[in-house]
Amino acid sequence: MYHFQLSRYYDFRSPICEYNGLKVPEYTSPNELSHDLVYYWRFRTTYDGQDYSEFSHAFAVYISPKPTDIGDTGDMSTLPGSFSLSQNYPNPFNPRTFIKYRIPVRADVELLVYNLLGQKINTLVNETKSAGTHSVDWDGTDESGQTVAAGVYFYQLTAGDYSEARKMVFLK
């Protein structure tokens, strides 16, 4: 048997649909899902009605009224299955570093750099991005184009309801 959850939030803090007792790992929602939104789903199993296994990783699905921006001949198997933010490379760095991130669905993406005091230093990305793997290079400058001081910085990716931050070191 399977236990299924559907939510608008990656952490499932308020599932919009939950169903226990599925005999096969398939589910059709009785409610129409809103267009142009990302939903997350996960499942777990139960044995003889006892003790659930851990939930699977969350899977994202984008409900679009239009075709995706991936061509009909595109290879859907190369799309990421979940959101992720990679460690920058190189790290430590001088004068440039590259930041790679993956998004499984088209999403509004923001990638920001902060100093140790939590002050925003630079906006590297602030736009809607298609599903896939993306890379950004940062040249160690602030929003006015001035080179930042050597030290520890944080970069934070926000895409839909997903958010993750990582640390990097700028050396001079």
- CATH of residue 86's domain is 2.60.40.4070
The predicted pLDDT at position 71 comes to: 46
The predicted pLDDT at position 145 comes to: 94
Q: How far apart are CA 162 and CA 141, in angstroms?
A: 26
Q: Which residue has the higher pLDDT, 131 or 170?
A: 170
Q: Which residue has the higher pLDDT, 75 or 24?
A: 24
Tell me phi and psi for residue 60, to 5 degrees: -105, 145
Q: What percent of the chain has pLDDT over 90?
A: 45
Tokens 């990638």 found at: 111
Domain shared by 102 and 161, yes or no: yes
Domain shared by 31 and 86, yes or no: no
User: Per mean pLDDT, which range of 30-39, 72-81, 125-134, 137-146 is the poorest?
Assistant: 72-81
Give 13's DSSP letter: S
Amino acid at 10: Y
In tens, the pLDDT along 97-144 reads 999 999 988 889 999 999 999 999 999 999 999 888 999 999 999 999
The predicted pLDDT at position 49 comes to: 62
Q: Which of 67, 87, 113 is the last residue of a domain?
A: 67
Asked whether the beta carbons of 107 and 147 are under 8 A apart, the reply is no
Domain shared by 94 and 56, yes or no: no
Strand-pairing partners, residue 86, are none
Asked if residue 76 has pLDDT above 60, the reply is: no
Q: How far apart are CA 107 and CA 163, in angstroms?
A: 12
Q: Which residue has the higher pLDDT, 56 or 31?
A: 56
Domain shared by 93 and 165, yes or no: yes
Q: Which of 67, 87, 118 is the last residue of a domain?
A: 67
Q: How far apart are CA 41 and CA 45, in angstroms?
A: 14
The tally of domains found in the chain comes to: 2
Domain shared by 59 and 88, yes or no: no
Among 2-16, 19-33, 105-119, which range has the highest average pLDDT? Answer: 105-119
Q: Which residue has the higher pLDDT, 21 or 64?
A: 21
Asked if residue 92 has pLDDT above 50, the reply is: yes
The predicted pLDDT at position 74 comes to: 47
Written as six digits, the tokens of 51 are 């003790």
Tokens 């991130």 found at: 101
Domain shared by 59 and 10, yes or no: yes
* Domain membership of residue 39 as a residue range: 2-67
